Structure 1
Amino acid sequence: MINAIVNKVAMERYRDFLSATDEVMLALIECDQHIKRLDRKKSQGSWVACTAQELRSFQKKAMDQISELRKVAKNHEAELISREWRL
């Protein structure tokens, strides 16, 4: 009985993890709209803003890392399924 509860919790946590990575990926995709609207006027005072190209580079790097994290999670999912979600 306890194992079933623990296994259910493990499945829910994994589902929550995948959902969170999806949300982060969607947020990064939405950044495109903001990057396109980036105003290249000089910043006031001593503030320095990143260029659109730099922001796209940061965005791509973050998206690549999230994708890699999801691949690792999928490999771990296969292992968890084979063990019936026992930790």
Structure 2
Amino acid sequence: MQVAAINRAAQQNYATFKAALVLLQETVDEQVRGLIAKVEDADIPGTAWAVPSADELKSLCDKAVREIEQFSKDAKDYEAELISRNWRV
């Protein structure tokens, strides 16, 4: 049945999408925050290029995390709608 194949494809695409969101959240939590900690500890000379302070980077990172969480929440709401329609778009 074509409908069943399309529904399976939709479920697989959504699972891939969710996995990408989880990977993004893990990357921000582990890698980006680690890099910010290194910037915080770095001794940057006054003649260096202008770079944001560690506090500014933390603020931007926190904002990105909030956006990712909101996007995940919206995706979860849409998932409920897809399930109610048997994964038909």
Question: Which 5+ residue runs of structure 2 have no aligned equivalent?
Answer: none
Aligned residue in 1 for 2:38: 37
Q: Letter of the 2:37 partner, please give it.
A: K
Deviation at 1:44, TM superposition (A): 4.8
Q: Letter of the 1:78 partner, please give it.
A: A
Q: Give deviations 1:21-75, integer Å, cap 9, x for gaps.
A: 1111111112122211111422655x11111011111111111001000111111
Q: Letter of the 1:61 partner, please give it.
A: K
Give aligned pairs, total: 86
Which runs of structure 2 are paired with 1:4-83 in the superposition (5 Å)? 4-30=4-30, 31-38=32-39, 39-42=42-45, 44-45=47-48, 47-83=49-85
SS at match of 1:15: helix
Q: Letter of the 1:35 partner, please give it.
A: I
Bigger Cα displacement from structure 2, 30-39 vs 59-68: 30-39
Q: Which has the higher contact order (CA 8 A, sep 6+)?
A: 1
**Deviation beyond 4 Å, 4+ runs, structure 1:** none
Q: TM-score, normalised by structure 2?
A: 0.88
| % identity of equivalent residues | 34
Report the aligned-residue RMSD: 1.3
